[in-house]
Amino acid sequence: MQKSLKPFPPKDAPGLVGALRSATADLHQAVERLPVMTRLTAAAADLADYRRYLSAMALVYGGLEPGLFAALTAGLSRQWVAALGVRPKYPALCADLEVNGLSVPAKVPMVVVTPADGTPGSLGTALGGLYVLEGATLGGRLIVRQLRRQLGGQLIGASFLDFHGDQAAAAWKGFSGALEGLAMAQFVVSEQSIVGARAVFGQVYRILAEVDMSPCEA
Ligand code: HEM
């Protein structure tokens, strides 16, 4: 990773978000150290590195988002869903793949995140999983800035990495504030969210670790 990227983990936060951050910091760091990510964030990153990453992330989000969003909408009122401000990122990934001349996966196997008590797709678990997929936008914004510096106009189709654009900090504030509100209203048991967040990070790790790093045409 280049020095210009902020170090992870960021400053400790109280509450559920702080608990999720501490409980997943080891997995976040393990993901950051995978070859596909170190290449993406290296000074010498090229289009092939970016395209490898995009294809892998499509498998991550394509597999996870349907189950997580289904649990969210089944378990929460529209007002709470709106307060969280989350929307699926898989369509942005598909658009980026297409712009980059890459094929969209025909069918991504759906992954259901199961909490310790065996209840599939519980709300608390899904919220922990969404914390991971939403939080990725924070690092994503830093990565896309660096890629733009490195690749200039060659970098096309970056709507996933730059999902919230200039609103990234505001979107995170909204999401994490709503998450804390749900915890205070006792909609979420933090242990279940941690299980969900760790399971989702584990899935992210497995998919990114399998990326073929042999040279390919950009
Ligand atoms: C090389 C790759 C990555 C780097 C360098 C990176 C870097 C960062 C940085 C610097 C932050 C803190 C940003 C801030 O506070 O403004 C962050 C937050 C976060 N990232 Fe990553 N990230 C990477 C990949 C990922 C991936 C692949 C995921 C999951 C799919 C992920 C999930 C998260 C989460 C959940 C947070 C929020 C943590 C919190 O504040 O509670 N990151 N990342």
Q: For 166-187, what is each residue's pLDDT tens digit?
A: 999 999 999 999 999 999 998 8
| Predicted TM-score (pTM) of this structure | 0.92
Among 6, 20, 28, 207, which residue has the most ligand 1 atoms within 8 Å of its CB, making it the best to mutate? 28
Task: Count Cβ atoms within 10 A of the Cβ of residue 126 and give its class: 0-12 exposed, 13-18 middle, 19 or more buried.
Answer: buried
Per-residue pLDDT averaged across 103-115, rounded?
Answer: 80
CATH topology of domain 15-209: Heme Oxygenase; Chain A (1.20.910)
How far from 211 is each of 104, 113, 140, 208, 214, CA to CA, in Å?
A: 16, 22, 18, 5, 9
**Predicted confidence (pLDDT) per residue in 68-94, tens digit:** 999 999 999 999 999 999 999 999 999
Q: Do residues 69 and 87 make contact, with C-beta atoms less than 8 angstroms apart?
A: no
Average pLDDT over residues 35-62: 97
Residues near ligand 1 (Cβ within 6 A): 1, 5-6, 8, 10, 17, 21, 28, 31-32, 37, 41, 131-133, 135-136, 138-139, 142, 204
DSSP for the chain reads: --TTSPPSS-S---HHHHHHHHHHHHHHHHHHTSHHHHHHTSTT--HHHHHHHHHHHHHHHHHHHHHHHHHHHHHS-HHHHHHHT----HHHHHHHHHHTT-PPPS-PPP-----TT--TT-HHHHHHHHHHHHHHHHHHHHHHHHHHHHHGGG----TTTTTTGGGHHHHHHHHHHHHHHHHHTTS--HHHHHHHHHHHHHHHHHHHHT---S----
* Nearest-CA residue for atom 37 of ligand 1: 135
Looking at ligand 1, which residue's alpha carbon is closest to its atom 8? 139
The residue whose CA has the least distance to atom 9 of ligand 1 is 139
pLDDT of the residue at 107: 81
Q: How far is the CA of 45 from the centre of ligand 1 (A)?
A: 19
Decide if pLDDT at 123 tops 50: yes
For residue 181, report the distance from its CA to the centre of ligand 1, in Å.
22
Q: Nearest residue CA, atom 11 of ligand 1?
A: 139
- Name which residue sits closest to atom 2 of ligand 1, judged by CA: 32
Residue whose CA lies nearest to ligand 1 atom number 6? 139
Average pLDDT score, the chain: 91
27 CA → ligand 1 middle, Å: 11
Distance 88 CA to ligand 1 centre (A): 18
